[in-house]
Amino acid sequence: MVSKNQKTIIIGLGISLIFVLLGVFVFSYAMETLDVKAEELGAEENPIYEPPLPDYTIPGWEDEWGTLLLGVASTLLLFVAGLAAAMVLKKKSKSK
């Protein structure tokens, strides 16, 4: 028997995965106002850190399918991270 919370999570994660699909295959082109203004001024990014998965790509596998895999895995990771944080915060507020 699926509980109300489980049903909400399944539907919500389903919608999240649709967002990832659309983000990878339809709405993938990004040129934010910030980027345009920086380009006009010749201002350049100056990263102080090399991320392991730059620009949502897997090094050596830089096509949409790699990004899709990353998007799906990251969405699930964020769900677990958000849930874990909520559980810790709930426990903390209970113990007060």
Partner 1 sequence: MHIPDGFLTINVIIPTFIITLIFLAISIKKVKLTDQQVPIMGLLTALFFAAMMMNYPIVGGTTAHLLGGATLGLILGPFAGGISMTIILVLQAFLFGDGGLTALGANILNMGVIGIVVPCAVFLVMNKALKIKTTAALFVTVFVAAFLSDVTAAVAAGVELGLSQPVFQYGLSVAVPAMAINHSIMGVAEAFVTVVIIGTLLKLRPDVLAKSPILGKLSMFNKKDEVEA
Residues near partner 1 (CB under 8 A): 4-5, 8-9, 12-13, 15-17, 19-20, 22-24, 26-38, 41, 43-56, 71, 74-87, 89-90, 92-93
> In angstroms, what is the minimal distance from the CB of 44 to partner 1?
6
Q: Which amino acid, 85?
A: A
> In angstroms, what is the minimal distance from the CB of 60 to partner 1?
16
Q: Which is nearer to partner 1, 65 or 77 (CB)?
A: 77
Q: Which is nearer to partner 1, 5 or 60 (CB)?
A: 5
DSSP 26: T
Residue 58 pairs in a beta bridge with 61
Which distant-in-sequence residues (6+ apart) come within 8 Å of 23 by Cβ? Answer: 71
Residue tagged 């991270």 (tokens): 81
> In angstroms, what is the minimal distance from the CB of 87 to partner 1?
6
**Burial class of 13 by CB neighbour count within 10 A (0 to 12, 13 to 18, 19+):** middle
